[in-house]
Amino acid sequence: MSDIPSYLKVNYTIRPAKSIERKMIAEACARLSAFSRVSSYRYIGLGSIFFTDFTLFHRTLGFSEMISMEENIEDSGRFEFNKPLGCIQIEFGNSRQVLPTLKWQNRPTIIWLDYDRALDKDKLEDIGYVVANLCPPSMLIVTLRAVADDFGDPDSRLAVLKEELKDKLSYEIQTKDLIQTRFPMAVRNIVHDNISLVMNERNAGFPRENRFEYRQILNFCYSDGTMMVTIGGVIVQTGQLPNFGHCDFNYLEFYRPGEESYFIRAPSLTLLEQRFLDLQFPSASAYCPCVPNDDILAYAKLYRYFPKFVEAEI
């Protein structure tokens, strides 16, 4: 794996699957209004220099308390310069250092740990810390690189993962689970097991009617060149479960409460083709001359979130 931060390699705004994912997450977040006014949630993210998620969430959800954790301290001037909104506060330091300095009590939060690297023990510790501290109702979203080769060849992957994650890796994960096609699911399961354990510890000693629950709603898989996995869920207390029901997350096309993921496949279509199809949507029988049916079906699922990239001279 390269150590060059991904913001120096790729412009986040033009990765189509990522862009779709971001909008889907925004749509899921909007449903938190069943608990309280969405704009009152605090947003914590890893903004990079593009702050794309911050801009989108501010515009669509109205968040005004936003914190970006940024580990590239030596480039701090550049990050401050690129901050698109006055309400974004940049906390310099890696997430492991920053998370414990934030206040969590009585602060419903949406936190997106949008890592661009592979899973490791530090990241699981971040996730564990957040799960132990998030004030319900809050949403936790985690994105991780899910490339099996990062952990060596197929025969040694299990040993490499065990060495890295120690007892944070369930005994149920076997070599066969670590081939590339199953790897995103393995990553989701590892994260999920760790969330579950911390939730269990958090609940110890709490009366049954006042326990914390983590309800997964998102499980995305996508590739803009690199396979990534995103898992997200809401942390609620037992008494808030009726509100959770009113969020109607299960009506979202991309709602995935288990290990099965929603694969974001962004078909390659010209703007003209997109427009031609948009004119027919929503429709189960949309067509476009010469465009493969698979692409039309994929686009039909995503068109509401599909980015329209054009070159513009500003």
Partner 1 sequence: MVTPHEDTVRAQPTKAFFVSMLVKDQSLPSAILDLVDNCVDGAKRIRGGNPFDNLHVDISISPQKFEIKDNCGGISIDLAKNYAFCFGRDANAPPLHGTVGLFGVGMKRAIFKLGSKFEVRSISEYGSFTVKVAVDQWQTDNTPPWTFPMTCTEYAQPTLEKDRGTVVEVTDLFEGVASQFGEKLFITRLRSEIAARHQIYLDKGIRMTMNGTHIAPTTVTYAFVPGELLPARKSFHLDGVAVNLFVGIGASDIENAGWYVYCNGRMVVRADQSELTGWGELGTPKIPKYHHQFSRFRGSVYFESDDPTLLPWNTTKDRLDVEADKYRSVKLQMVATMRPVIDFLNRLDSELQEPDEEKRVLTELVRKATYSPPTADLPVEEEFTYVKPMPRPKPPKTVTIQYSRPKEKVDALKKCLGAASAREAGERTFDWYLKNECGYE
Residues within the interface to partner 1 (CB under 8 A): 74, 166-172, 193-194, 196-197, 200, 203-204
CB atoms within 10 A of CB 124: 22
Nearer to partner 1, 153 or 167 (CB): 167
Closer to partner 1 by CB, 117 or 202: give it.
202
Q: Which is nearer to partner 1, 72 or 243 (CB)?
A: 72
Structure tokens at 276: 């031609």
Our CB check for partner 1 shows the closer of 139 and 169 to be 169
Residues 6 or more apart whose Cβ sits within 8 Å of residue 297: none
CB of 307 to partner 1, least distance (A): 37
What minimum distance in Å lies between the beta carbon of 161 and partner 1?
12
Minimum CB separation of residue 289 from partner 1 in Å reads 51
Shortest distance, position 132 Cβ to partner 1, whole Å: 14
Between 51 and 212, whose beta carbon lies closer to partner 1?
212
| Measured distance CA(296)–CA(277) in Å, rounded | 8
| 67 vs 140 by CB, closer to partner 1 | 140
Distance CA 100, CA 313 (A): 43
Pairing state between β 262-264 and 212-223: parallel
Question: Which value, in Å, is the radius of gyration of the alpha carbons in the chain?
Answer: 20
Owner of token pair 């401050």: 80
Tell me, what DSSP letter sits at residue 215? E
Minimum CB separation of residue 196 from partner 1 in Å reads 6
Residue placing its CB nearer to partner 1 in the complex, 145 or 168: 168
CB proximity list for 35: less than 8 A, separation 6 or greater: 108, 137, 240, 243, 244, 247
SS (H, E, C) 17-49: HHHHHHHHHHHHHHHHHHCCCHHHCEEEECCCC
For residue 167, the minimal CB distance to partner 1 (Å) is 5
Taking the C-alpha atoms of residue 172 and residue 162, their distance in angstroms, rounded to an integer, is: 12
Evaluate whether 147 touches 181 at the Cβ level (below 8 Å). Answer: no
The CB-of-227 to partner 1 minimum distance in angstroms stands at 24
Nearer to partner 1, 148 or 165 (CB): 165
Task: List, in sequence order, the alpha helices (H) in 83-177.
Answer: 95-98, 121-133, 157-165
Find the shortest distance in angstroms from Cβ 163 to partner 1: 9
Is residue 107 exposed (0-12), middle (13-18) or buried (19+ Cβ within 10 Å)? middle
Question: In a 3-state reduction of DSSP, which class is residue 106?
Answer: coil
